[in-house]
Amino acid sequence: MSLRKSIVLACLLAILSALVFKVVVPGEQAKELAGYALEGLGEKAIERIELINSSGTFTLENKKVDLSDRLALDREESTLAQDRTADWSLQGVEVGGLDRAQLNSLIDGVVKLKLDNKIPEEETEADKALYGLANPLAELRVYSGSKRVDLKFGKKNEYLSKRYVEIGSKGSLHLVPEALFELASKKSIDFRNRNPFEVNEAEVKRLVIDKSAERVALERDETGTWSIVEPARFSASAEKVSALFRDLRSIRVSEFVEDGVEKLEQYGLNAPAGIFSAFLKDESKPPFVLKFGARQDAGAADTARDLQRDGERTVYRVEARDPFGLLVKSVNDLRERRLLRFPVDAVSKVIYEEQGAQTITVEKKGDEWTVNGAPGDAPFIREALQRLAELQADDFPNEGRDFGFAKPRVRIGVELSSSEGSITQRTLVIGALSDTKQDKKRYFAAVDELKEPFVVEEKTFRQVIPKYEALIKTAEAPPQPAASEPPSE
């Protein structure tokens, strides 16, 4: 083939490709988009969605409208995880966000509603009541500029498990997924964020719990470690603090009382039973304050509890289990009870000392353990160290007592070695008898600098003091000689 013919052929192919991508492909896409209820409108092009059902009429508004937005057919990934709540609001409601899951499901449902199951006109009955459309059970009205699309929901086709829908702009009858009808049938409260505590633990540097005259304050340092700082300084349990935040975020509002601030006494919020104040790491943001109203009938287990966020006019009512009793913690509820916890693999030496008993020194040399110089049984030693690391306080004493730490009954010293070669010393001491409860003796105890005394049962601390015989290797019995065969005759 000559060069001239090759050039001509290449030009023809280029023209053909341009026709395909500029005429044929867009034409095919336009034809496919026409099969959608919104005819290819993208979610940003929606100005508002009006819902009409048995609960009333309410409107969801888009605060960031882009009328040029179109549905991208080549995007197949799910958008249900997107957070659209910052861009949408419930008309007439000034405070509180929207429920992300419900909002996403509704927007995806209307934007991606494909009208595959159309009832042919020749098969459609004139009497709309046959489809439950004479008086629709629910309606969705979608607005975008001068465009409006109405979806009217009728009866459910039990055989196909789909719902009859009349598309107002098309005047046609279709069967659509039941899930969209369920969304169109929801109340306005279902689209509101019903968790009044919208703060994550990671955002908070200080949490203050006020209950009557009692205050508990916790602070988190730069490493993420929580400490109790009021009414005194104690180690806080990371697990219990995290559980407290989870419980706060699990509160679900059953009713929103707009302008409830005008009747605070009616809701027990003129003198709150408790206040949670979360001070954020981002100091440019104000503290997040949640107030719990006093119960009107303290003896009723199912009485509603009313809540209010600082600076808002809305009162939030919680009618399920009372969250206040679950959330308001005493100091001891939030204290760390495993005060000696340490990594067992880092232990290089342990010394057990007890009044009137043999001192036991367990030491690791290379990969081998020794117990007072004798070969140690590694599995039993590891089990003993694990029990020691998991020792938990049974209770915490009041201050002003003689704990008996000057002459302790038991002292256990633990030496920890890091991979860099540094040595850390940990200490547990068991002091004087605290009390006897139900025939169980309880003793004062403390670790390291002895700043946080606790109480432990005798049975509990006995379990972390091993017997010498249990830690050493037992001598293996020498092999027995094989029985000799009888001499042959």
pLDDT value of residue 284: 93
Is the pLDDT at 23 greater than 50? The verdict is no
Residues 282 and 168 in one domain: no
3 within some domain: no
The mean per-residue pLDDT over the stretch 301-313 comes to 80
The mean per-residue pLDDT over the stretch 197-207 comes to 93
Confidence of residue 322 (pLDDT cuts 50, 70, 90): low
- Percentage of the chain surpassing pLDDT 90? 59
Range of the domain at 127: 43-191
Is the pLDDT at 488 greater than 60? The verdict is no
The mean per-residue pLDDT over the stretch 458-481 comes to 80
Q: Express each pLDDT in 78-110 by its tens digit.
A: 555 577 888 999 998 877 788 889 999 999 999
Residues 55 and 128 in one domain: yes
pLDDT value of residue 473: 87
18 within some domain: no
- The overall average pLDDT reported for the chain is 86
pLDDT value of residue 165: 93
Residues 93 and 177 in one domain: yes
pLDDT value of residue 12: 61
Confidence of residue 33 (pLDDT cuts 50, 70, 90): confident
Residues 180 and 47 in one domain: yes
Is the pLDDT at 487 greater than 90? The verdict is no
8 within some domain: no
Confidence of residue 22 (pLDDT cuts 50, 70, 90): very low
86 within some domain: yes
Residues 375 and 304 in one domain: no
pLDDT value of residue 448: 95
Name the pTM for this structure.
0.75
Residues 176 and 54 in one domain: yes
Backbone φ and ψ of 329, nearest 5°: -110, 145
116 within some domain: yes
Overall domain count for the chain: 3
Is the pLDDT at 288 greater than 80? The verdict is yes
The mean per-residue pLDDT over the stretch 138-153 comes to 94
Residues 349 and 330 in one domain: no
Is the pLDDT at 469 greater than 80? The verdict is yes
481 within some domain: no
Residues 319 and 217 in one domain: yes
Confidence of residue 25 (pLDDT cuts 50, 70, 90): very low
The mean per-residue pLDDT over the stretch 415-431 comes to 93
The mean per-residue pLDDT over the stretch 234-253 comes to 92
The mean per-residue pLDDT over the stretch 227-233 comes to 94
Residues 178 and 54 in one domain: yes
Residues 179 and 288 in one domain: no
Confidence of residue 117 (pLDDT cuts 50, 70, 90): confident
4 within some domain: no
pLDDT value of residue 6: 64
Residues 152 and 55 in one domain: yes
Q: Express each pLDDT in 46-77 by its tens digit.
A: 999 999 999 999 999 999 999 999 887 665 55
